[in-house]
Structure 1
Amino acid sequence: MVTIRSLLFWALVYTYCGLCACLELLKLLWSLGTKPGKTFQWLIRENPPGCLSDPSLGTHCYVRIKDSGLRFHYVAAGERGKPLMLLLHGFPEFWYSWRHQMREFKSEYRVVALDLRGYGESDAPVQKENYKLDCLITDIKDILESLGYSKCVLIGHDWGGMIAWLAAICYPEMVTKLIVINFPHPSVFTEYILQQPSQMMKSASYYFFQMPWFPELTLTINDFKALKNLFTSQSSGIGEKGCRLTAEDIEAYLYVFSQPGALTGPINHYRNLFSCLPLQHHEVTMPTLLLWGERDPFMDVEMAEITRIYVKNQFRLTILSEASHWLQQDQPEIVNKLIWTFLKEESRKKE
């Protein structure tokens, strides 16, 4: 029975992977037919836009991890010695997606926005095996220690949310409070992605990313049109009531992901996901805040409420009806206010 279940599981994964690949191939052929001259033309941006060196966001720093030998890039704001707030971005993002939070929380925290393994200026190992969940979780522990801290407020968005959940489960002693944006508890997500047709369709990219090299190619078509559309289109981008990305913001993303080989590391994060399933139903033991943009086209909102059963401590869920998947960029003022309220709650109780 175990063998049969395993065969059925991988048959489902690869069948859906093939369907997603066929759809992307049709899009590629359509582009070649309508815009043959532009399909495979894209710019490699040599000079970063000025917003990436904005001093109000903090200082660019690097840390090398002794065990793995990898060097990680991060931007730090706020005085050394203050409590640490560690920020983990999603896909396709990098440290800059936390710019609104870095300006906001540096008054009381040492705010560190990390480029995850394989992203931006952080090292990107070649083999996909180097992006297994165990490696990504260990990165967070090692970086925390290398920064000279034993505890932090841990905040993650999207795939960074997955890593934040797992880091809090594996190393509960190092997370004082957990804040996750638009990503449910990993056990909820992995059950949904395999069992619910609606979530399977919304998570099509997770299946498509199992393929070698082709996903990277499709994201570069027409000068990274798919990447731009993720943040700006009506279906997946920040809505009219949100804080729209400026042209310079979009150029910052294009600068990072248009560098040679810059997409392989980020996509490799997903290429080990199904080999790690099923995840154990681990419980979270620290106070947890889950923020959710209801207009998220990639995640069923029902998963947010189910997450409650896995948190064996204070759990606060806030769903914002007019917000998108890119919540901390879409509604930064509301998100910052909700985070402040959550962070201050325990101190108020003691008073």
Structure 2
Amino acid sequence: MFLSEPKTLTTSRGTFSYREGGSGAPVVMIHGWPESSYCWEHLGRHLKQGLRVIAPDLRGLGDSERTEGQEHYRKQELAKDVISMLDELGIEKFQLVGHDWGGIVAQEVALAIPDQIRKMVIMNIALINNLKGNMEVIEKVRSGSGKAYWYQHFQQAPGLAEAMIPGAEETWLRFFLQGWSNDIPEDSIAEYVRMYRIPGTPGAGANYYRAFADDAKRWGTLSDHVWKIPSLYIYGNKDRVIIPEYLNHIEDCFEEIRVEEVDAGHFLQEEKPEEVAGHMNGFFETD
């Protein structure tokens, strides 16, 4: 194992869990849906020496607390959770990674405390300041069937996830984990099934999508923001949901950005952990 078993941390915002591995310069890695901090386990084994991975479990997923109320799952609020954990751990300067919803939370962290972040890596998710590119995505989706996004509407429906997912967790998760990527390790799938069987998880996971309308209103005000943090975007080119149009105008969103394409699906860090880690190794600082 590269990462530790989940450790518990209580802050002013609640009780959360996290994993860590390695030693050296802190790298905070934030997972997305429907995963947990375990999603960095296989990638972590390929990271170069001199990096200390700190991987939080976001609220409602992994082994962190399940909190009722979709307002707790606004991505700005989830970023505050992560920051409270880092404060409790005494982490001041760090490099930052986020995948899927974790990539959104990472961007919210970077908005809140930009001076503490040395470098940032975003993987297979929208950029919250790329209003022009994101509108082009919406136009393309509307021009087609939009069927790839059914799961978002399903989870936004009040009470539906809570009523229909319990007892069918493995079927639910395998649909996404194996349908959106190839060769997801079985130990990872087993960990996410275990997590999703914790009472309250289907509703908490759905709240990530129920809070989306509030999130979008906030992001609509960020079109003039330009990231000053040196950044890397790693893109799995077979993703069915985060389509290539999300990268349109990406160069306008950063002062310094490098884009690396990986022949993989959505969960690229688990499908191609060595290749993705290689891109990170060439980007991260260890001193």
| Fold shared by both chains (TM-score > 0.5) | yes
Specify the code of the residue in structure 2 equivalent to 1:71. T
Matches within 5 A, 1:56-205: 56-66=2-12, 68=13, 70-79=14-23, 82-105=24-47, 107-188=49-130, 190-192=134-136, 194-196=138-140, 197=142, 198=144, 201-205=147-151
Write the distance in 2 (CA, Å) between the matches of 1:59 and 1:210. Answer: 32
SS at match of 1:150: coil
- CA gap of 1:107–1:204, structure 2 versus 1, over 3 A, is same
Equivalent residues of 2:181, 2:268 under 8 A apart: no
Specify the code of the residue in structure 1 equivalent to 2:273. P
SS at match of 2:283: helix
Runs of 4+ displaced beyond 4 Å: 198-201, 220-223
1:259 alignment counterpart:
198
Q: What is the count of residue pairs matched by the alignment?
A: 279
Equivalent residues of 1:78, 1:106 under 8 A apart: no
1:215 aligns with 2:161: yes
1:339 aligns with 2:280: yes
2:244 alignment counterpart:
301
Write the distance in 2 (CA, Å) between the matches of 1:214 and 1:190. Answer: 28
2:227 equivalent among 284, 302, 306 = 284
Write the distance in 1 (CA, Å) between the matches of 2:215 and 2:187. Answer: 38
The alpha-carbon deviation at position 259 of structure 1 amounts to 2.2
Equivalent residues of 2:185, 2:270 under 8 A apart: no
Structure 2 portions without partners, runs of 5+: none
The alpha-carbon deviation at position 103 of structure 1 amounts to 2.5
The alpha-carbon deviation at position 305 of structure 1 amounts to 3.9
The alpha-carbon deviation at position 194 of structure 1 amounts to 4.2
More relative contact order in 1 or in 2 (CA 8 Å, sep 6+)?
Answer: 2
The alpha-carbon deviation at position 210 of structure 1 amounts to 1.8
Equivalent residues of 2:124, 2:266 under 8 A apart: yes
Write the distance in 2 (CA, Å) between the matches of 1:330 and 1:288. Answer: 22
1:311 aligns with 2:254: yes
Aligned residues: CA RMSD: 2.3
Percent pairwise identity: 25
* TM-score after normalising by structure 1: 0.73
Write the distance in 2 (CA, Å) between the matches of 1:76 and 1:160. Answer: 17
SS at match of 1:318: strand
1:328 equivalent among 269, 273, 277 = 269
1:269 aligns with 2:208: yes
Equivalent residues of 1:190, 1:277 under 8 A apart: no
Give 1 or 2 for the bigger CA radius of gyration: 1
SS at match of 1:105: coil
Specify the code of the residue in structure 2 equivalent to 1:309. D
CA shift digits 1:290-349 (9 cap, x unpaired): 00111001111121242221112x2000122x31101101111111111111125x98xx
Equivalent residues of 1:199, 1:298 under 8 A apart: no
Write the distance in 2 (CA, Å) between the matches of 1:249 and 1:340. Answer: 23
SS at match of 2:18: strand
Equivalent residues of 1:193, 1:199 under 8 A apart: no
SS at match of 1:283: coil
* TM-score after normalising by structure 2: 0.88
The alpha-carbon deviation at position 149 of structure 1 amounts to 1.4
